[in-house]
Structure formats: structure tokens, C-alpha cells
């Protein structure tokens, strides 16, 4: 390639990286208005605890299974075409969810069928986007060749900021429509906006440059071969660790919405604000986590997060166990979710970065699909276990079923972090890291995050009526 061609290629790559950030912002309209309100929508159309558990895990598992077909599709179509088509289909499936709501509210079908149909359509919606995941990851690896933590930290921060604002607006809209007794109209509006955001994002993806990519058939290996060798290689042990952590985390995660909207009787605005507290602290701490991962390694960020996150489920138990009044519980959970957002950020940012660093360009798509499938199985098992426990109609060891679910999840996260993650090693040269560096990072980052978080929550408390 001549120097003028190289310069032209570099310009196309830089433009595509900027477009990718804009595409992430467009996705955030679907995220903030749609994805983050799926659980409230399910509860509004009569979903039970088992259906809530399935909704939080089954779509992801089936979607991850579809990624096995993505590898075959990449032999026929370009990574760009697979991604654009998958995202476009995902956008239009929001109208199917509106149709399910119409069955419940307009057709007056109050049985289990609306929630069951919703799980089916939502599974297809998630699958359409997830199917494109390996192709998109491979594509992005060609566009982002250095400073992964910094780039994806910036991308996630911008997308998260947009999603945060959108979620706040969505919560207010739902409370407004609930107040005038037409909540279905509220969800319909949210899902139409979700469609628009995702469709616009698909047009932005279409404008991005895709570097030439030729599949190396010698890099292919079957899922059975991967599973057989998992325990004997570093990447395989990493997949086992993350999948076990997903399992124990999903025991309680689906029931946070149930806990707030049913047990604590929060309004949609209160529910949204608690969820957004985690998003806000995540955004505020993203740059520091990104720099930390670039300096000390993605694995160090993951381990630091997974060792501290187990405290969160136990903190969630406090309002119910102490009999807090509603508004006190709301303020308390704002702080708890703020802490959770900060602690989870290192994990969520660095899992993808670790895979990018650990896997070669030719094998990234296939490794990402196998990772996602096994991780999805772990999440489904955890959610089903949590659903069974949450559906029990009697106390367990003297506490309610959902409280027990939180306790099991917290203990499981700690055990997974200590034992499952012990044998995973960093895949690139990084600076030394010890207790002193960890303590200093957590202290300075939490202080900075808390400063801005307190300012934000004070403004919200002054301006939001409950």
C-alpha cells in the first residue's frame, strides 16, 4: 500500500471511530427509553417471578447461541453487512412489543400469554443485535488498534450520558401516563423512540469504513474443541470465571426491579433515579477505570471489581430488614446503587478489553461467540435459580425469599471472585500492582465520584416531587 493510500486509510479509520461514538449515542435512545424499561413493562402486563427471571436471562442465552451462526455468515457476507442488517431488524422489533401491550390493555387479555409473548419477541429483539456482535467486535478490532481502555471508556461515557438523560425522561413520562391512567400510551411512546434511535444508529453503521478482512480457515475451531480445552488455557479459564460470576450475579439481578416496584412500592421516577444513580457513578468513574486498565491491565480491573461488588446485594437487603419508610429507603438505595455503579464499572469496561487483548484478529469473532454462549448459560442458570427461590411462599432462614436471593448472590459473588478468578493471568505487559495501588485508586476515584454524585443527587432531590 502506497503512502497516499495509507493516509487515506487512516483518515477513514479515524472518521469511523468518531461515527462509532455517535452510533453508540444513538443506541442509547433504545437503551434509555426501551431496554432499561423492559422489566417495568413486564410487570405492567402481569409477569410473574418466573417470567421475570426468564426475561432477564433467556433472551441473552438464545441470542448468544445465534452467534454460532454469525461465524458461518462471515464466510458469506461482510462484517459490516451482518451488523447493519442485524441492528435494523432489532429496531423494527420494538413494534412487536407495542403489539403485545395492545393485547393486554386494549384486547383485555389478562392471562400469562402477553408476558409469554413478550419474552418471545424480546428474545428475537436481543438476538438480532447480539447476532451481529462477533462481526462488530472483529470490525472494531481493526479500527481500534491501541489505547482500548481510553477509546472504549470515552465511547461508553458518551453513550452512558445520553442513556442516563433518556432514562430520567422515560421515568417521568411513565409516571405522567400512569397518573392519567393510560400507562400503555407511555410505554408505546418509549418504544417508538427506541425504534428511532436504533434505526438511526443502523444508518451510521452503514457509513463506517470496514478494513479488508479475509477469514483464515486455519484459525477456526469448533465449540466442542473449545470446551474440551477450556480448563487448560488462560482464555478458557477466563471464560469459566466470567460465566460463574454471571451465574451468581443473575441470581439476584432480575429481582431488583420487583423489589423496588412491588416490595418497596417505588414510583417509576424513583425506580428510574435509583437505576440511574449507578449509571451516573459509572460514567464519572469510567475515565479513571480506563486509565487504570491501560496501566495495570484489564484483568486487574476485573478482579478489583469482582472482589468489592459482593457487598452490594447485602446492602440492598437493609430497607426491607429494617422496615425503612419509603422515602428513606429511596435515598438509601440511591447511595447503594451509586456505589454499585462505581464498583461494577471496572468489570464491565474491562471484560471486553481483556478479550480484545487476549485473542488474535482472526479468532476474535469465534472466541467472542463462544464466550458469549457459555456466559449466557451461566446467566440463565443463575436467573432460574433466583426465580425458584424468589417464588417460594415461605421465609428461608427467617428472611423473605427475595432477601434470601440477595444473600445467596452476595456470598456467591465473593466465592467466585476468590476461587474462580485465581488462575487467570494478564495477557500483556503491565505495571506492578499491589494493595497500596488498589487502596489509593479506590480512595481517590470514589472521592472524586462521590463529589459529583452528591451534587447531582442534591439537585434531583430539590427538583423532583415524590
Model confidence at 461: pLDDT above 70: no
Band (pLDDT 50/70/90 cuts) for residue 219 is low
**For residue 280, which of 76, 63, 59, 450 has the smallest C-alpha distance?**
450
Model confidence at 1: pLDDT above 60: no
- Please check whether the two domains, 1-214 and 216-466, share a CATH topology: yes
Distances (CA, A) of 283 to 159, 162, 317, 333, 437: 9, 10, 25, 18, 22
Band (pLDDT 50/70/90 cuts) for residue 431 is low
Model confidence at 464: pLDDT above 50: no
What pLDDT, in 10s, does the model give residues 131-166?
A: 988 888 888 888 887 776 678 878 888 888 898 889
What pLDDT, in 10s, does the model give residues 326-346?
A: 889 999 999 899 889 988 988
Residue with cell 408505546: 188
Q: Which of 3-7, 288-292, 306-310, 436-440 has the lowest mean pLDDT?
A: 436-440
Model confidence at 448: pLDDT above 80: no
Band (pLDDT 50/70/90 cuts) for residue 465 is very low
Q: Across residues 350-357, what is the average pLDDT?
A: 84
- Cell numbers standing for residue 443: 480512595
Number of H helices, E strands in the chain: 20, 0
Helix (H, G, I), strand (E, B) or coil at 165: helix
Distances (CA, A) of 60 to 57, 88, 130: 5, 18, 8
216-466 to CATH, choices 2.40.50.140, 3.40.50.2300, 3.20.20.70, 1.20.1250.20: 1.20.1250.20
| Residue burial 138-171, b: 16+ Cβ < 10 Å; e: rest | bbbbbbbeeebbebbbbbbbbbbbbbbebbbebb
Q: Which of 94-98, 173-177, 427-431 has the lowest mean pLDDT?
A: 427-431
pLDDT for position 222: 84
Backbone CA torsion sign across 264, 119, 314, 405: positive
Model confidence at 449: pLDDT above 70: no
Phi, psi values for residue 386, rounded to 5°: -65, -40
pLDDT for position 362: 76
List the domain boundaries for the chain.
1-214, 216-466
Superfamily name with CATH number, domain 1-214: MFS general substrate transporter like domains (1.20.1250.20)
Amino acid at each position: 500500500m502506497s503512502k497516499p493510500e495509507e493516509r487515506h486509510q487512516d483518515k477513514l479509520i479515524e472518521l469511523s471511530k468518531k461515527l462509532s461514538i455517535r452510533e453508540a449515542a444513538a443506541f442509547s435512545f433504545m437503551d434509555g427509553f426501551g431496554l432499561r424499561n423492559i422489566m417495568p413493562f413486564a410487570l405492567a402486563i402481569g409477569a410473574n417471578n418466573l417470567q421475570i427471571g426468564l426475561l432477564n436471562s433467556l433472551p441473552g442465552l438464545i441470542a448468544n447461541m445465534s452467534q454460532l451462526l454469525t461465524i458461518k455468515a462471515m464466510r458469506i457476507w461482510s462484517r459490516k453487512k451482518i451488523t447493519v442488517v442485524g441492528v435494523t431488524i432489532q429496531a423494527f422489533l420494538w413494534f412487536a412489543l407495542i403489539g403485545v401491550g395492545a393485547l393486554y390493555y386494549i384486547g383485555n387479555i389478562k392471562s400469562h400469554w402477553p408476558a409469554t409473548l413478550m419474552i418471545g419477541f424480546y428474545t428475537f429483539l436481543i438476538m438480532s443485535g447480539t447476532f451481529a456482535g462477533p462481526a462488530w467486535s472483529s470490525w472494531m478490532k481493526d479500527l481500534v488498534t491501541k489505547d482500548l481502555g481510553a477509546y472504549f471508556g470515552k465511547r461508553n461515557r458518551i453513550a452512558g450520558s445520553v442513556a442516563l438523560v433518556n432514562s430520567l425522561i422515560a421515568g417521568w413520562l411513565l409516571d405522567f401516563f400512569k397518573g392519567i391512567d393510560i400507562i400503555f400510551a407511555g410505554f408505546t411512546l418509549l418504544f417508538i423512540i427506541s425504534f428511532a434511535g436504533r434505526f438511526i444508529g443502523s444508518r451510521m453503521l452503514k457509513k463506517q469504513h470496514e478494513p479488508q478482512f479475509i477469514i483464515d480457515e486455519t484459525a477456526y475451531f469448533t465449540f466442542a474443541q473449545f470446551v474440551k480445552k477450556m480448563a487448560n488455557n488462560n482464555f478458557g479459564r477466563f471464560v469459566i470465571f466470567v460465566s460463574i460470576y454471571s451465574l451468581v450475579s443473575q441470581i439476584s439481578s432480575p429481582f431488583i426491579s420487583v423489589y423496588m416496584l412491588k416490595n418497596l412500592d417505588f414510583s417509576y421516577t424513583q425506580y428510574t433515579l435509583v437505576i440511574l444513580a449507578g449509571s451516573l457513578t459509572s460514567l464519572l468513574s469510567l475515565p479513571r477505570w480506563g486509565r487504570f486498565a491501560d496501566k495495570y491491565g484489564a484483568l486487574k480491573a476485573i478482579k478489583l471489581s469482582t472482589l468489592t461488588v459482593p457487598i452490594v446485594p447485602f446492602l440492598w437487603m437493609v430497607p426491607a430488614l429494617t422496615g425503612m419508610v419509603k422515602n428513606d429507603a429511596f435515598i438509601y438505595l440511591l447511595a447503594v446503587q451509586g456505589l454499585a455503579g462505581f464498583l461494577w464499572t471496572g468489570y464491565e469496561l474491562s471484560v471486553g478489553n481483556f478479550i480484545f487483548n487476549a485473542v488474535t484478529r482472526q479468532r476474535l469473532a469465534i472466541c467472542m461467540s463462544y464466550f458469549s454462549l457459555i456466559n449466557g448459560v451461566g446467566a440463565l442458570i443463575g436467573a432460574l435459580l433466583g426465580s425458584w427461590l424468589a417464588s417460594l411462599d415461605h421465609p428461608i432462614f427467617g428472611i423473605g425469599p427475595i432477601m434470601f436471593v440477595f444473600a445467596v448472590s452476595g456470598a456467591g459473588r465473593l466465592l467466585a471472585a476468590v476461587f474462580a478468578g485465581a488462575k487467570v493471568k494478564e495477557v500483556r505487559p503491565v505495571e506492578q500492582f499491589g494493595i497500596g495501588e488498589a487502596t489509593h485508586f479506590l480512595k481517590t476515584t470514589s472521592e472524586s465520584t462521590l463529589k459529583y454524585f452528591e451534587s447531582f443527587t442534591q439537585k434531583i432531590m430539590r427538583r423532583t416531587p415524590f
